[in-house]
Chain A
Amino acid sequence: MRILVVEDDKKIASFVVKGLTQAGFAVDLAGDGEEGANLALAVPYDLAVVDIMLPRLDGLALIARLRREKILTPVIILSAKRSVDDRVKGLQLGGDDYLTKPFSFTELLARVHALIRRSQHASEPTRLTAGDVAMDLLTREVTRAGTKIDLQPREFALLEYLMRNAGRVVSKTMILEHVWGYSFDPATNVVDVLMSRLRNKVDRDFEEKMIQTHRGLGYALKVS
């Protein structure tokens, strides 16, 4: 998997490149929009991460150019502007996802995975497994080590999201977005509450705890 990162802020670029490389991607970095466009036109990337405010050619123009040239590489837009208008404009021009700075790398990584999965048109599985946890998406049955676990709809949705991203950390923001479809932060941490309920059902009676808390980052489901 090859990813193009177009970002002029050296510090942000370096941690994004480092993080993506550690996650097993081959990463190319472009320091301005022109260079980014040239690279994207020459190399068939699986994904591009593009900052909006770029020297020489801004991110939105870069995306528009790629789409004009019929290059459909999925693009994640990074922006320091948080206004809804910019978000809408970015997505209209052909961006596939949008992250506002400051963003957490965990979140970027999860979005990268989601987009790559989507662009590969991976066939929808009907059954998810992680460790000894198994989830049937059709019958909505969940078992752990063969024992049936009864889950409420939101608990099910949360576990499904964790299982789809098994082994990767997902942030609270992403959970809110995927389980409830909200993009704002409720003051009381509803995610924590739901997570502790899920833990009670999935982990309480077992020696091995599947759901792990990564302080400051989010939660992850253990793979093995």
Chain B
Amino acid sequence: MRSKFLDRMRRSLGFRLAVWYFVIFVLSSLAVSIVSYVFLSSSLQDNRKAIQAKMQELAVVAETAGVEGIEQAAEIRRRPSRRTAFFVRIVNPEGRGVFINNPRLWEKFDIDSFLDRPAEGAWQYVPSKGDGDVLELTTAKLRNGYLLQIGRTVEGRDEILEDYRNTVTGVTIPMMLIAISAAIFFSFRALQPVRHLTQTTRSIVATGRTDARVPESGSGDELDELTQLFNQMLERIEALINGMKEALDNVAHDLRSPLARLRGVAEMALQAEAHRDQYREALAGCVEESDRIRKLLDCLLDISEAETGTMRLQLEKVTVSDAIAEIVDLYQYVAEDKNVSISAACEKCVVVSADRSRFIQVLANLLDNAIKYSLPGGEVFIKVGQEDHRTTITFEDQGIGVAPEEAAKIWDRLYRGDKSRSQPGLGLGLSLVRAVMHAHNGQVEVKSNLGRGSVFTISFPDHPNIG
């Protein structure tokens, strides 16, 4: 459990960001501290240089004027201060101090403690007995065997350094705490949108519901943009899924009635003690009904595919006049039987970009429709026009027409007007026309006068790259 948690922590982006922030923050503050410590300590080093300079100066005095000269040069008469004054002492070869300048200044230091062991050239430190001050001094041997000692208080140099160290150490812990909290805060805030995204996605994965949306921060930054796009994607997916669900529901619903009929025919035949011919009749009925179901299923699937945009269209250049000639040929006998004449006016050169077999199917359905609802002796006109970058094909009949209140419904699946119920058909022809045309980015339209006839128009957008 624990190692799993740690492992997850280690892989969490927020945690890694926080750690990096923290490490960089601490390292840079550490660097600043060290650099300022070095500067501070080196500026304190200047004390020694001053002492050495004084030493050289007095050594020259000793050369020329002897010990007395030093005494004169070293004695400070005007307001001697321990902070600025040099400590000057001369020790005879027997190891006894023969001169100290301004003895009152140095009485706090145990200056006699190291008379017996003067370390020539080395630095020695004499702590003060009262305060924490330290006298830093060095020793040089004069020619006559006397020792010259020169020093100056370090003005609490080590103390300052130690104070500095203490301060840095004291500041370091709160600083680290601040760094950690800042790191956590920033990574938390920066990753907030990502967390929302994760939560939403997780809930979608877990529940399968696509209506969840990620809250948008509105800040307009990159993550906000991502969130918006993510929501748009969910929107589209939801629309697609709903479309497919609806299509499935419709198909299931539309199959119930023909299946009920199929079952009914079979059941009736099973119940009655019937003659062989009646059984044959019932079986033939079953076969016919199952054929109808298959056609219905194919047609519904075509419509669903076209509506949801999953229909594969093999677009090619189709010459409209050829396609019209084909379907006129297909329907010529049907029209003749009904005493309906078909006249098609189409220029040879008009070309649309379409899936050929789907296009023919659309034309066939429209012509079928026009002939079906024509009255005997009527005429069907097929016209092709080009206007406003669109190719339009109209089917005009002089048939029974569509009532205005029905005009919008005729495109619906399985809708059959009062007058059309007596006609054979699945009630899917016009739905398929509309779905396939929409899949082609085309449009469908109907204008109709009840009792006078209808004009069905389909239109294709022109593709400048084709043609």
Contact = CB atoms under 8 A, between A and B. Distances in A.
A186 B364 contact: yes
Contact of A184 (B281, B290, B361, B424): B361
Interface in B346-395: 357, 360-361, 364-365, 368-369, 371-372
A52 to B, nearest CB: 18
A188 B368 contact: yes
Q: Which secondary structure dominates chain A's binding surface? A: loop
The 9 residue pairs across chains A and B that have the minimum distance between CB atoms: A216-B287, A215-B284, A216-B284, A187-B425, A216-B288, A193-B333, A187-B368, A193-B334, A184-B361
A215 to B, nearest CB: 4
B424 A188 contact: yes
A146 interface: no
Nearest to A216: B287
Given A104-B291, A186-B364, A188-B372, 7 more contacts: A83-B312, A102-B294, A154-B333, A185-B295, A197-B333, A215-B288, A217-B287
Interface residues of A, number: 24
A190 B290 contact: no
Contact of A190 (B283, B288, B330): B330
B419 to A, nearest CB: 16
Nearest to B298: A82
Contacts of B312: 83-85
A194 B364 contact: no
Contacts of B291: 104, 216
A82 B364 contact: no
B204 interface: no
B131 interface: no
Given A215-B284, A216-B283, A190 B331 contact: yes
20 contacts: A83-B312, A182-B330, A182-B360, A184-B357, A184-B361, A184-B364, A185-B295, A186-B365, A187-B372, A187-B424, A187-B425, A188-B334, A189-B424, A190-B334, A193-B334, A193-B337, A215-B284, A215-B288, A216-B284, A216-B285
A16 B200 CA distance: 53
Interface in A161-178: none
B284 A186 contact: no
A14 interface: no
B305 to A, nearest CB: 9
Nearest to B326: A180
A91 to B, nearest CB: 15
Contacts of A104: 287, 291
A108 to B, nearest CB: 14
Interface of B: 281, 283-288, 290-291, 294-295, 298, 301, 312, 329-331, 333-334, 337, 357, 360-361, 364-365, 368-369, 371-372, 424-426, 429
B78 to A, nearest CB: 110
A56 to B, nearest CB: 29
A183 interface: yes
A183 B357 contact: yes
B357 A186 contact: no
Contacts of B372: 187-188
A215 B283 CA distance: 9
Contacts of A216: 283-288, 291
Given A188-B368, A189-B424, A82 B330 contact: no
A212 to B, nearest CB: 13
B288 A187 contact: no
A185 B432 CA distance: 12
Nearest to A176: B330
Interface string A52-78: 000000000000000000000000000
Contacts of A189: 424
Nearest to B332: A154
A83 B310 CA distance: 11
Contacts of A194: 333
A197 B424 CA distance: 20
Nearest to B286: A216
Residue with the greatest number of chain A CB neighbours at <10 A, chosen from B281, B285, B294, B331 = B294
B11 to A, nearest CB: 41
Contacts of B281: 215
Contacts of A190: 330-331, 333-334
A8 B291 CA distance: 23
Given A154-B333, A193-B337, A188 B290 contact: no
Nearest to A179: B330
A30 B368 CA distance: 45
Contacts of A85: 312
A146 B414 CA distance: 50
Interface string A187-224: 11110011011000000000000000001110000000
A82 B285 CA distance: 25
A7 B357 CA distance: 31
Contacts of B283: 216
Contact of B301 (A82, A180, A183, A193): A82
Contacts of A188: 331, 334, 368, 371-372, 424-425
Nearest to A83: B312
B245 to A, nearest CB: 20
Contacts of B371: 188
Interface in A20-55: none
B103 to A, nearest CB: 112
A107 B312 CA distance: 27
Contacts of B290: 102
Contact of B426 (A82, A187, A196, A217): A187
A76 B284 CA distance: 26
A154 B329 CA distance: 9
A103 to B, nearest CB: 9
A82 B299 CA distance: 12
Nearest to A183: B357
Contact of B368 (A180, A183, A186, A215): A186
B429 to A, nearest CB: 5
A36 B154 CA distance: 104
Contacts of A184: 357, 360-361, 364
A141 B415 CA distance: 47
